[in-house]
C-alpha cells in the first residue's frame, strides 16, 4: 500500500510537470498584461507589454497584443496634433481587442477606409461610461486635439453608475500573491480559463448546477419584468445625464457607437432630443449574412470588426462632407 501511495504521488507530480511544460511550450495559456491606475486616476495597462491572448482549450483564438506607451493595446502611439485628422475610439474589451491581432484591429480597419487618418483606440476591459468620460476629461489636452471621438456604449452594462471612482481594489487584487501565483503557474491559468475548476468552485459556494428557478406565471412575470426594466431604464438614463453634466459632452465631435436593438427607447429618445449623435450598427449586423461575433463569446470577429469599421467610417465621411 505504501508503495502504491508513494508511486502515485511521484506520478502525479511528474505528470503535472509534463502538463505545465506542454502548456508553456504550446502557449495554451492566455496572458493578461498588468494593469495600473495612473496619476490622473485612469485605469489602464502597464506600457511596453507584448504577448498573446488565447481563447479556448486548443488555441481556437490566438492573437498578439501590444501595449503602447499610452497604456492601450494598439499598433500605434498616440500623438495628436492640430494638423492631422485623428479619431479616438473609447470603449471596453470590444475596443481593446485582445481577441484579434493588434495590427488588425477595428482602428486599423478605419484607417484603411479613411485615408490620412489616425485612429487611437482607448480600449480597456471593464470600462463603463464613467471610465470613458473620466478618461476623456483626464486627457483633455490630447482629446482637444483629436477631431472625432467615438464612445462605444454597451447600454446594458455601461451605465450602472453616475459617478466615477477608480477601482483600486481590483488593481490591488490582481497584483496580490494568489493572482501572481495563478499567472506564473500556467497549469492554473489554463485550468481556470477552460473552467476545469468550476465544479470545485460550485462545491465550495454550495451552488448546484442546473438548479431550477421558481418562475411565476408568465404574464405576471412579464408585467413585473417590464416594470422593473422601466425603473432600470430611468436609473441608467440618470447616470448618463449625471456623467455628461459632470464631464461635459462635446456634441460637435463626440458620438455614441451602439446597437439600438439592445438600447432602451427612452435613452435613444433622450439622445435624439439633445442632438447627441448615434452611430447605430444594429442594421448592418442584422443584414450580415455571416455571424459578426465570435463563436466562443460575444466579441466581434473579423467580419464584425469590418462592419463596425465601415459603419464608423461612413458616419465620419458623411459628417466631413
Partner 1 sequence: MLFNSLQFLIFLPIVYVLYWFVFKKNLKYQNILVIIASYVFYGWWDWRFLFLILFSTILDFYLGQKIYKDRDNTKRARYWLWLSVFFNIGLLGFFKYYNFFVDSFIEMFLAMGYEMKSTWTLRIILPVGISFYTFQTMSYSFDIYYKKLKPTKDFAAFAAFVAFFPQLVAGPIERASNLLSQITTKRYFKYNQATDGLKLILWGFFKKLVIADSLAPIVDDIFANYGTYPASTLILGVCLFSFQLYGDFSGYSDIAIGTSKLFGIELLSNFRFPYFSRNIAEFWKRWHISLSNWFKYYLYIPLGGSKGSRLKSMRNVVIIFLVSGLWHGANWTFVFWGAVHSLMYIPVFLLNSNRKYLNTSIAENSLFPSLKEIVQVLITFLLVTFSYIFFRSLTITEAFNYISQITTDFRYEAYSHPMGYRMVDYYILIAIFIIYEYIIRKDERRPFNFKNPVVRFLIYALIIMSTLLFYDDGVNRSFIYFQF
Instruction: List contacts with partner 1 (CB under 8 A).
Output: 1, 3-4, 7-8, 11, 14-15, 18-19, 22, 28, 56-58, 60, 190-191, 194-196, 198-200, 203, 294-296
Sole residue written with cell 429618445: 269
Three cell numbers, residue 83 = 494638423
Q: How far is the CB of 305 from partner 1 (least distance, A)?
A: 17
Q: How far is the CB of 199 from partner 1 (least distance, A)?
A: 4
- In the chain the first and final C-alpha atoms are separated, in Å, by 83
Q: How far is the CB of 30 from partner 1 (least distance, A)?
A: 14
Largest CA distance in the chain: 83
224 vs 295, beta carbon nearer partner 1? 295
Q: How far is the CB of 283 from partner 1 (least distance, A)?
A: 25
Q: Could you tell me how many residues make up the chain?
A: 321
6 vs 266, beta carbon nearer partner 1? 6
103 vs 197, beta carbon nearer partner 1? 197
Return d(Cα 206, Cα 160) in angstroms, integer: 28
18 vs 103, beta carbon nearer partner 1? 18
Q: How far is the CB of 295 from partner 1 (least distance, A)?
A: 3
19 vs 113, beta carbon nearer partner 1? 19
Three cell numbers, residue 88 = 479616438
Q: How far is the CB of 111 from partner 1 (least distance, A)?
A: 28
Three cell numbers, residue 19 = 502538463
Return d(Cα 67, Cα 76) in angstroms, integer: 9
29 vs 124, beta carbon nearer partner 1? 29
Give the angle 67-309-302 at the CA atoms, nearest 5°: 70
Query: C-alpha 184: how far from its chain's center?
Result: 24
Return d(Cα 64, Cα 99) in angstroms, integer: 9
CB 114 within 8 Å of CB 84: no
Query: C-alpha 146: how far from its chain's center?
Result: 22
Amino acid at each position: 500500500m505504501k508503495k502504491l501511495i508513494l508511486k502515485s504521488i511521484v506520478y502525479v507530480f511528474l505528470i503535472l510537470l509534463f502538463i505545465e511544460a506542454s502548456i508553456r511550450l504550446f502557449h495554451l495559456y492566455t496572458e493578461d498584461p498588468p494593469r495600473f491606475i495612473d496619476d490622473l486616476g485612469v485605469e489602464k495597462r502597464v506600457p511596453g507589454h507584448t504577448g498573446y491572448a488565447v481563447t479556448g482549450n486548443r488555441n481556437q483564438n490566438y492573437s498578439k497584443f501590444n501595449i503602447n506607451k499610452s497604456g492601450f493595446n494598439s499598433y500605434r502611439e498616440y500623438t495628436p496634433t492640430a494638423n492631422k485628422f485623428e479619431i479616438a475610439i473609447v470603449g471596453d474589451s470590444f475596443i481593446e481587442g485582445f481577441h484579434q491581432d493588434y495590427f488588425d484591429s477595428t482602428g486599423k480597419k478605419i484607417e484603411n477606409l479613411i485615408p490620412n487618418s489616425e485612429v487611437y483606440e482607448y480600449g480597456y476591459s471593464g470600462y463603463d461610461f464613467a471610465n470613458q468620460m473620466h478618461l476623456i476629461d483626464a486627457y483633455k489636452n490630447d482629446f482637444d486635439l483629436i477631431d472625432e471621438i467615438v464612445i462605444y456604449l454597451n447600454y446594458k452594462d455601461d451605465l450602472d453608475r453616475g459617478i466615477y471612482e477608480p477601482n483600486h481594489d481590483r488593481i490591488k487584487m490582481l497584483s496580490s500573491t494568489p493572482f501572481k501565483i495563478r499567472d506564473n503557474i500556467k497549469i492554473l491559468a489554463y485550468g481556470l480559463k477552460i473552467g476545469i475548476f468550476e465544479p470545485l468552485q460550485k462545491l465550495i459556494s454550495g451552488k448546484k448546477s442546473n438548479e431550477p428557478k421558481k418562475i411565476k406565471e408568465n404574464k405576471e412575470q412579464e408585467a413585473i419584468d417590464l416594470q422593473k426594466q422601466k425603473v432600470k431604464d430611468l436609473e441608467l438614463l440618470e447616470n448618463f445625464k449625471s456623467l455628461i453634466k459632470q464631464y461635459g459632452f462635446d456634441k460637435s465631435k463626440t458620438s455614441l457607437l451602439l446597437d439600438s436593438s439592445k438600447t432602451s427607447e427612452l435613452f435613444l429618445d433622450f439622445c435624439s432630443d439633445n442632438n447627441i449623435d448615434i452611430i447605430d450598427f444594429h442594421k448592418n449586423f442584422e443584414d450580415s449574412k455571416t455571424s459578426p461575433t465570435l463563436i466562443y463569446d460575444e466579441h466581434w470577429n473579423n467580419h464584425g470588426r469590418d462592419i463596425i469599421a465601415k459603419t464608423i467610417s461612413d458616419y465620419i465621411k458623411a459628417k466631413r462632407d
